[in-house]
Amino acid sequence: MFPPGFAPTSSSADSPLGSTSTRLSYEDKEKYSTPISSRSHLAKDEHERDDATASTLSTLPADLPSPRIEQRPPPWRRRRLILAFLITGPILLALGVGIPVGLASMKAKQLNASPAGSTKQSNGGSPLPTDSSHPVRPITGGDGSLVTMVDGSTFTYSNKFGGFWSSDPNNPTSDSARPNSWTPPLNQTWDFNTDKIYGVNLGGLFVLEPFISPGLFQKYPGAVDEWSLTTMMAEDTANGGLSQLEHHYDTFITEKDIAEIAGAGLNWVRLPIPFWAIETWPGEPFLAKTSWKYIIRLIGWCRKYGLRVNLDLHTIPGSQNGYNHSGRYGQVNFLHGTMGLANAQRALNYIRIITEFISQPEWRNVVPMFGILNEPLMPMIGINQLQSFYVEVYRIVRSITGYGAGKGPYIGFHEGFSGPDPWAGFMRGADRVVLDMHPYFAFSGGTASDPIATGTGPTAGGVWPGRACQRWDNLLGSSRANYGISVAGEWSNGWNDCGLFLNGVGFAPTYGGNCEDWENSANWDAATKAGLLHFATANFVPDWNANINSFLSPDQIGNSTRGIVESPLWSYQLGLEGGWMPTDPRTAAGTCAALNIPLTPAPTPYPSWMTGGNGTGIPQDVDQLVWPPATILNGGPANELPQYTATATAATLAPPIATGTDGKNLDFGNGWFNAQDTEFAPGPISGCVYPDAWDSTQAATISSACVAQAAQ
């Protein structure tokens, strides 16, 4: 049956999304896709409201923007609603009609600020005094400059690499900041032929993982993933219930942390986000529509310090891999099993919604890459099914953004744990598509018996630095040569799999030694730190002339109930402080050459179509990858499986609402780049009784209403 409590709505259209009754070629789908709009904002009056209304809505923490998630009206109502809103907007806001309660008006100088100081405290706080009651503060600064946060607390910005921050209260989207001298500012084009990504993941912030936030999971014994954690937490009203998650969003990463990432010589962050930032469906226990305001606050901090963001959709309805960081541990129900196709339909809609937001001119400089699906388990899904999904994603994204450099983000596709070989030659001619892989050592299943603490000289790290060079060349070197632009979306200093909950709650490590030695960094000696540092510099793989592009995972790990970080090999922040991560990533240059490890030459420059130049557009040889695929593994023929139909109203991820020092509203877009994208979102077919979307791998009786309409 359908998730409990979900009342099927009546359908005005019988054909489900992606019905197999009519299979369009890629060219056909391009012909019938919506036209491209270069810019499609509603009038700025949409965001204006009178002072009395604004004051009644000022209920969010003072340092937060006021995002909201709106429902997009049906196409036939769009123009009439826009006009009505322009005329009667203040009345609608006052009555709460169609606009969620809780929007807040704020000064722009509060937009990119956090009240946290040098310690992890709440980012909440009282509004700053008006401009007439305090001195005007600087809007930019470099090394040694004083940064004042929204509650008046300050810190001194440290950046020895020529980087500077920028936060203009009257022009917050100028994108003039840069993190260091070798990285272009945000308002200049990133060039994958010459620029190199030195990145870090902000994992565990908006998508919880037991090893990153062990204290939360230790508080609720039996919690193994965010599904079970939120279920237990919601019942614990005495301790705040799910407000504990919002506190985590608010405090786990602060503005000062983002400033320190820029000051460490990095220039990108990878930001995992969950689909429930947009919405949940009945039966899903996740904290819905709450993290988005913190997500865009964090993106605002990245903008302030010149850091580009690789936004990564980390969770998918039904789970794409069965891992705890997909939302629910255990089963794969995305493109697999009875509800595999229906869950994929929801995923496509969320990808569309996020693309609409980040493609706006106000956001595309700071979010130039979108990883659309984290770590799909291709052995369970199937290569044809996954590639078919990727081709459909590409069609949807580029129908929104258009083709060519600067039009929407680079699209990141994970290789599905298959390595680079199946992807050689995939989607030739595609506009700005990147292959993502995660070259971990920890999860290979071996005992990792070779020592890493072998001294402090050139041989520090034993065999491990050389193995890192070889592994990266086998994966990323091969991928660049045979596919094109490639990134390592995740890697770590974890040469073994020691760490509290690293393999999941209740799972033992495979490491052949004593893991206690690797779960408390206070006990590490100079040889251990030197070995880890050499291993880390080899993982940066700086010897290629063109960039290899990598993201450490993650920036930081929370303390366990012991009061220490029990997965120290995985914390970039702790490694910087402790001396086993390079304080300047460029110092890693020459590491692999010094170890006599030959590396595959870089195929630079990349063909122009890879970076949005000549020849970009419809990929070659994709017509055989029809959507939906003919069959779903462990489900059966796609036209016999439950599907959804396009009858629901799509959500819109809304931007901040803020005013400049002159009191005028600032323009952050309206959340929807292409006004001509008026398609409905997936919704249930009337009369169809759906199986459990998160537990449908077993045999299920499919409602005749679902099959009958899916076959039409």
Angle between helical axes of 243-251 and 226-235 (0-180°, round to 10): 120
What is the structure's pLDDT at 291? 98
What is the structure's pLDDT at 246? 98
- Which helix (H) or strand (E) segment holds residue 472: the answer is helix 464-472
10-residue mean pLDDT series, the chain (712 residues):
36 40 41 34 34 33 44 40 31 28 32 36 37 68 94 94 96 97 98 93 97 98 98 98 98 96 97 99 98 98 98 99 98 96 98 99 99 98 98 98 98 97 95 96 91 96 96 90 93 96 96 96 98 94 55 86 97 96 91 91 88 93 92 94 95 94 94 98 93 80 70 44
Written as one string, the DSSP assignment of 242-270 is THHHHHHHHHSS-HHHHHHHHHTT--EEE
What is the structure's pLDDT at 697? 64
Going from N- to C-terminal start, the domains of the chain cover 198-611
For 478-624, strand residue ranges (E) read 486-491, 550-552
516 a catalytic residue? no
pTM (global) more than 0.85: no
Which has the closest alpha carbon to 499: 554, 455, 458, 456? 554
Find all residues with CB under 8 Å of 4, minimum gap 6, and list them: 282, 283
Which has the closest alpha carbon to 700: 643, 641, 620? 641
Q: Which of 260, 362, 375, 392 is catalytic?
A: 375
- Which helix (H) or strand (E) segment holds residue 313: the answer is strand 308-313
What is the structure's pLDDT at 310? 98
Question: Would you identify the CATH topology of the domain 198-611?
Answer: TIM Barrel (3.20.20)
The answer to whether 141 and 165 are in contact (CB under 8 A) is: yes
For 108-158, strand residue ranges (E) read 140-141, 146-148, 154-156
- Which helix (H) or strand (E) segment holds residue 70: the answer is strand 69-71
Q: Which of 70, 356, 392, 490 is catalytic?
A: 490
Which has the closest alpha carbon to 627: 288, 394, 363, 432? 394
Q: Which single residue is written with the structure tokens 């970076």?
A: 611
Question: Measured at the alpha carbon of residue 532, what is the angle toward residues 530 and 537, in degrees to the nearest 5?
Answer: 95
286-313: burial string, b at 16+ Cβ within 10 Å, e else: bbbbbbbbbbbbbbbbbbbbbbbbbbbb
255 a catalytic residue? no
At 351, phi and psi to the nearest 5? -60, -40
Instruction: Using only the alpha carbons of the chain, give its radius of gyration.
Output: 25
